[in-house]
Amino acid sequence: MKKIIIGIFLTFVSFSVFAHGPSPQKVEKSITINASPDKVWAIVKDFGSFQKWEPLVTDIKLEKKGEDTLRTLTLKSGGKVIERLKGIDEEAMKLKYEIIEGAVPVADYNSFIVVSKGSNPNESNVTWVGRFYRVYKLNPPIPAGQDDESALKAVNEIYDAGLPALKKLAESK
Amino acid sequence: MTYKNLFLLILYLSLNACSSLPIAYITNQGSNTVSVVDIKNRKITHEIPVGNGPVGVAISLKQNYGFITNANDGSVDVLDLYQNKIVKKIIIGGTPVGITKSTDERYIFVSDWFNNKIIIIETKSLSVIKKIKVGKSPSGMICDDQGKYLFISNRDENTVEIYNQSSLSLFKKIKVGKHPYGVFFRKNLLFVVNVLDDSISIIDINTFNIETIKVGDHPYGVVSDIKNEFIFVTNTQDDDISVIDLIQKKEIKKIKVGGNPEGIDIDERNHLLVISNWRSDSISIIDVIKQEYLYDVKTGKQSRSFGQFIKIE
C-alpha cells in the first residue's frame, strides 16, 4: 500500500514538474524601496526567511539535501510548496530559485529576484520575475485550474502580496 | 542632381544590392506577430500579425515562403517573403511547435507536440500531404544537407529519432539527456540540447558515438560555426550563451545576451549569430569570429524563434 501511495505521489510530481503547456508565461513586477540596496539585498537573499515578507506564506522549513538547498512553504491557502535555491549572485544582487513541486498551479517555474540601485544611496529597486508554464500538457479542453490564466493568477498574487510587504519590512528596520 | 552624384547613387544602390543583407524572422509569442528584422540596419522593417502563440520558423528561399507554427491555435502560417504578408493559414490541429524544411525544400515538417506526430506540408501546394507517428512530444527538427535524414528530438521520452527523409521510416532511435529540445546538424554531427540536464549531446551519425557537455541553466537552442569548431548554446535561465570548443570539448566562454534567450541561428556569410530574447523582447547579435556581443534590436513581445529563422538576400 505504501509503495502504491509513493508511486502515485511520484507520478504526480513528474507530471507537474516535467510536462507543461507549449507557451511559457511571464510575470514581472518591480517596486521602489526607500532603503539601501545592501539592506534590501540582505532580506531578499535570506532564502529561509521568505515568510517574513510574503504574507501568503505562513510557515517555512529550510533544509539541505546533498548539494541542494530546499525550502518547504506552507501557504495561507493550506497547501505546501517545495522550492530549490538555484543560486545567489552577490555582485548582481540576484537570487534564483525554482519550484520543485506543490500547490501553486504552475509547471517548470523558474524565478529570480534582483535588487538594484535607486536614484539615491537610500533607494533600491527590486524586480521579481517568473517564467513558468501551465500545468496541463495536452490539447484543449484544458481542465479548470490547470490553464495559463490559473498559473498567471497564482503567481501574480504571490508577487503582488510579497513586494509591498518587502518594502514595508525594509523601510521599517 | 549632378551626373556625378547620380553615378555615385547608382553605385551605392548596386553595391547594396550585391552585399548580403541578413533578415531575421522573429516569432513573438506575446504579441502574436512576426518581426521582420534587418540585422545590419538594426531595425524592424515589418511587423506581421500571425496566429496565436507563434514559436517555430522555417524559411524556404526556393519557394520564397516562411512557415510559422502557432502553438496555441494549431495552425501554420505561410508568409510570403516578397510581400511580407501571410498568404495562407494551414490548420493542422494539435500543438505545432518545431518546424523545418526538407533538404530539397519540397516539404516542411511540423512537430505536433501533444499528439506525437510529424505533419508533412508540401511547399508547392501548401497543403498537408501526410502525418506520421513519432516519439513523445516531438520538438526540435532539422535535416542534413545530403537529403538523407530528418532528425527529431522527443522531449518527454528523452530521445532523438533519425528518420529516412524520403521514405519517412525510422532509421534509429537514440537515448539522450533529459528533455531534448533544440537541435542542429552540420557535417557528421548532430547537436541536441537537454533542457533539464543543463547539457548538450553531440552525436556522430557515422559512428553513433555520443558525447555530453555541460552548459548553462535550461539550454534551448544550439548552432555550430561553419567549420564545426565551436558551438553556441542559449541558456534561457542564465541570460547568456555558452561557447563550446569542439576540440577541447568544453565550454570556453559565456557571452551575455538579453533576458531568457531561446532561439539561435547563424548567418554564415556575415559571421553573425542572432538570438531571440523572450523576456526582454529583443534579439541579440553576436560576432561569431570574435565571439563577442555586438548589439540588441527591439522586437515584438516574448520573442522565441525556434528553428532556422535567418534569410540572407
Q: How far apart are CA B252 and CA B229, in angstroms?
A: 12
- Whether the per-residue pLDDT at A16 is higher than 80: the answer is no
Q: How far apart are CA B224 and CA B233, in angstroms?
A: 9
At A93 the three-state DSSP class reads coil
The maximal CA–CA distance of chain A, rounded, in angstroms, is: 61
Average pLDDT over residues A30-48: 98
What is residue B207's predicted lDDT score, i.e. its pLDDT? 97
Q: How far apart are CA B294 and CA B287, in angstroms?
A: 6
Q: Which range has the worst mean pLDDT, B2-16, B24-38, B43-57, B268-282?
A: B2-16
Query: B256, B293 in Cβ contact below 8 A?
Result: yes
When CB atoms are compared, the residue of B53, B217, B260 closest to A23 is B53
Contact flag B196-A24 (C-beta cutoff 8 Å):
no
Q: How far apart are CA B13 and CA B43, in angstroms?
A: 19
Residues B26-43 as b or e (16 or more Cβ within 10 Å = b) = bbbbbbbbbbbbbbeeee
Burial of A103 (0-12, 13-18, 19+ CB in 10 A): middle
Q: How far apart are CA B151 and CA B162, in angstroms?
A: 5
Nearest CA in chain A to B29: A23
Contact flag B114-A139 (C-beta cutoff 8 Å):
yes
Contact list in B for residue A19 (CB cut-off 8 A) is: 137, 156
Contact flag A23-B71 (C-beta cutoff 8 Å):
yes
Residues A104-131 as b or e (16 or more Cβ within 10 Å = b) = bbbbbbbbbbbbeebeeeeebbbebbbb
What part of A 15-44 touches B (C-beta under 8 Å)? 18-19, 22-24, 26, 28
Angle between helices A148-172 and A37-44 (to 10 degrees): 130
Nearest to B58 by CA among B286, B281, B265: B265
Query: B112, B119 in Cβ contact below 8 A?
Result: yes
Which grid coordinates are listed for B70?
A: 502557432
- Is any Cβ of chain B less than 8 angstroms from the Cβ of A139? yes
- Is any Cβ of chain B less than 8 angstroms from the Cβ of A48? no
Q: How does pLDDT run across B116-129, given as a tens digit for each residue?
A: 999 999 999 999 99
Average pLDDT over residues A116-142: 93
E strand intervals along chain A: 25-33, 57-65, 68-75, 80-89, 94-102, 107-117, 124-133
Domain edges within chain A: 2-172
What is residue B193's predicted lDDT score, i.e. its pLDDT? 98
- Whether the per-residue pLDDT at A158 is higher than 50: the answer is yes
Pairing status of strand A57-65 against strand A94-102: unpaired
Q: How far apart are CA B311 and CA B304, in angstroms?
A: 16
- DSSP 8-state secondary structure symbol assigned to residue A155: H
Nearest to A46 by CA among A116, A115, A125, A129: A115
A61 phi and psi angles, rounded to 5 deg: -130, 120
Contact list in B for residue A110 (CB cut-off 8 A) is: 218, 237
Query: Domain spanning B20-312: which superfamily?
Result: YVTN repeat-like/Quinoprotein amine dehydrogenase (2.130.10.10)
Contact list in B for residue A86 (CB cut-off 8 A) is: 217, 237
ipTM score of complex: 0.88
Q: What is the mean pLDDT of chain A?
A: 90
Number of A:B CB contacts under 8 A? Answer: 48
Query: Domain spanning A2-172: which superfamily?
Result: START domain (3.30.530.20)
Query: A42, A170 in Cβ contact below 8 A?
Result: no
Query: B233, B216 in Cβ contact below 8 A?
Result: yes
Contact flag A131-B279 (C-beta cutoff 8 Å):
yes
Which one-letter amino acid corresponds to residue B109?
F
Q: How does pLDDT run across B151-196, given as a tens digit for each residue?
A: 999 999 999 999 999 999 999 999 999 999 999 999 999 999 999 9
Contact flag B217-A86 (C-beta cutoff 8 Å):
yes
Q: How far apart are CA A59 and CA B96, in angstroms?
A: 42
Nearest CA in chain B to A23: B53
Q: How far apart are CA A64 and CA A72, in angstroms?
A: 11
